[in-house]
Amino acid sequence: MGETPCVSLLKATKTPKYRARIVALKEGEDDYEQPLSPGARFFHEPGYNVYIIAQMGVKDPIDVDELKANIPIILDKYRCFSRLAVTDKNGNMRWVPTRVNVDDHVIVPKIDPNMESADKFVEDYISNLTGSCIEYSKPLWDVHILNTKTSNGQGTYVLRAHHSLGDGMSFINLLLSYSRQASDPKALPTLPVNKKSHHHTTRVTNFISFCMVVWNTLVALVLFVFTTMFLKDTETPMKASNGVEDRPRRIVTRSVSLDDIKVVKNAMDATVNDVIVGVIQAGFNRYLNRRFGENNKPVPENIRLRAMISYNMRASTNVEAPSSNAVNEHETWGYKVGYILLPFNVKYRSDPLDYVREARAIMERRKASLEPFATRFYAKLLIEKLFGMKVAGKLNRKVYYNTTFCFSNIPGPKQRICFLGQEVTYVAPSLYGIPSALMIHVVSYVDKVTFILSADEETIPDPQKLCDDLQQSLQHIKCSVLAKPCVEN
pLDDT, tens only, 441-475: 999 999 999 999 999 999 999 999 999 999 999 99
Of the pLDDT bands very low, low, confident and very high (cuts 50, 70, 90), residue 203 is low
d(CA 40, CA 299): 39
Q: 394 near 11, Cβ under 8 Å?
A: no
Res 318: pLDDT: 60
**CB-neighbour burial class of residue 334 (10 A; exposed 0-12, middle 13-18, buried 19+):** buried
Of 381, 376, 366, 379, nearest to 336 by C-alpha is 376
Burial class (CB in 10 A: 0-12, 13-18, 19+), 322: middle
- Select from 114, 134, 189, 126 the least CA-distant residue to 156: 126
% of the chain exceeding 90 in pLDDT: 56
DSSP 124-177: HHHHHHTT----TTS-SEEEEEE-S-BTTBSEEEEEEEEGGG--HHHHHHHHHH
pLDDT given for residue 445 in this prediction: 93
How far apart, in whole angstroms, are the C-alpha atoms of residue 237 and residue 463? Answer: 12
Q: What are the angstrom distances between the C-alpha of 222 and each of 34, 200, 421?
A: 34, 21, 49
Q: Which of 52-61, 126-135, 352-361, 405-414 has the lowest mean pLDDT?
A: 405-414
* pTM score, whole prediction: 0.88
Rounded CA-CA distance 328/29 in Å is: 16
Q: Which of 170, 155, 182 is nearest to 414 (CA)?
A: 182
Question: What per-residue confidence (pLDDT) applies to 86?
Answer: 92
User: Above 80 in pLDDT, residue 200?
Assistant: no
**Residue 71 pLDDT greater than 50, yes or no:** yes
* Contact (CB, 8 A) for 327 and 78: yes
| Confidence (pLDDT) at 6 | 40
- Concatenate the DSSP letters of all residues of 346-398 into one string: ----SSTHHHHHHHHHHHHHHHTS-HHHHHHHHHHHIIIIIS-HHHHHHHHHH
> Do 477 and 360 form a contact (C-beta atoms < 8 A)?
no
Mean pLDDT of 348-368: 92
Residue type, 331: E
Strands (E), 171-249: 179-181
CA-closest candidate to residue 228, choices 45, 379, 363: 379
How confident is the model over 373-397, as a mean pLDDT?
A: 81
Q: Is residue 386 scored above 80 in pLDDT?
A: no
Q: What is the pLDDT of residue 40?
A: 85
76 contacts: CB under 8 Å, gap ≥ 6: 326
The domain limits of the chain are: 197-307+334-408+440-483
pLDDT of residue 201 exceeding 50: no
Query: What are the Cα distances from residue 220, in Å, to 78, 217, 372, 375, 400?
Result: 36, 5, 9, 9, 16
Residue 197 clears pLDDT 50, i.e. is over it? no
163 counts as catalytic: yes
Task: Please say if the pLDDT value at position 22 is more than 80.
Answer: no
Q: What is the mean pLDDT of residues 74-79?
A: 87
Choosing from 44, 105, 162, 163, which is the catalytic residue? 163
The CATH code of the domain at 197-307+334-408+440-483 is 3.30.559
Tally the C-alpha atoms within 13 A of residue 250's C-alpha that lie toward its C-beta: 16
Whether the pLDDT of residue 9 is over 80: the answer is no
